[in-house]
């Protein structure tokens, strides 16, 4: 039987993605376009594995390209196309959809290669399963 916290959790993870050919452009001096695309896809797979193994009730990947869609759908998540509203517009639209369905939202960047299920669970717990705003700073750069 699930714990009370899992039963009470009504949080959906949102992972916004750019098309792979537009991702990681700052790495262009070191990686060619195919290498950057592969890096993008592999990091998304890691993030999806952590998110979908957590107690999130659903994970939605927003945007990307056809390969991102395939990765999302084969990674036990849902995919929604980017409608050209930019990152904040796409996030806001998905948060509104989640809210109208009685769910909280957790924004998860798609490029966190060290993300674990335990990290997602810790953020969920800190947010009291979506009832509190919780921000996870980047420790390495003070961000």
* 2 pLDDT more than 80: no
Q: What is the mean pLDDT of residues 80-90?
A: 91
User: How do residues 21-71 score in pLDDT, each as one tens digit?
Assistant: 999 999 999 999 999 999 999 999 999 999 999 999 999 999 999 999 999
User: How do residues 97-143 score in pLDDT, each as one tens digit?
Assistant: 999 999 999 999 999 999 999 999 999 998 887 777 777 877 766 54
Q: Which secondary structure element, helix H or strand E, spans residue 122, and what is its range?
A: helix 117-126
pLDDT at 92: 93
pLDDT at 141: 62
* 83 pLDDT more than 60: yes
pLDDT at 142: 55
pTM of the model: 0.87
- Concatenated DSSP letters of 51-63: HHTSS-SEEEEEE
Q: How many CA atoms lie within 13 A of 7 on its CB side?
A: 4
Cβ neighbours for 99, distance < 8 A, ≥ 6 positions apart: 105
pLDDT at 51: 97
Query: Using 50, 70 and 90 to split pLDDT, how confident is the model at 1?
Result: very low
**Are the C-beta atoms of 80 and 36 separated by less than 8 Å?**
no
Ordered by where they begin, the domains of the chain are: 11-125 (3.90.550.10)
């Amino acid at each position: 039987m699930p714990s009370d916290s899992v039963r009470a959790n009504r949080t959906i993870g949102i992972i916004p993605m750019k098309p792979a050919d537009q991702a990681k452009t700052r790495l262009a001096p070191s990686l060619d376009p195919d290498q950057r695309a592969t890096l993008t896809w592999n990091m998304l797979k890691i993030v999806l594995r952590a998110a979908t193994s957590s107690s999130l009730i659903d994970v939605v990947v927003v945007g990307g390209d056809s390969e991102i869609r395939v990765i999302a759908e084969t990674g036990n998540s849902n995919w929604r196309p980017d409608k050209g509203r930019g990152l904040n517009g796409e996030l806001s639209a998905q948060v509104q959809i989640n809210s109208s369905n009685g769910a909280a939202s957790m924004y998860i960047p798609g490029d966190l290669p060290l993300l674990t299920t335990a990290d997602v669970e810790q953020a969920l717990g800190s947010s009291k399963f979506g009832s509190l705003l919780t921000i996870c700073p980047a420790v390495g750069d003070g961000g």
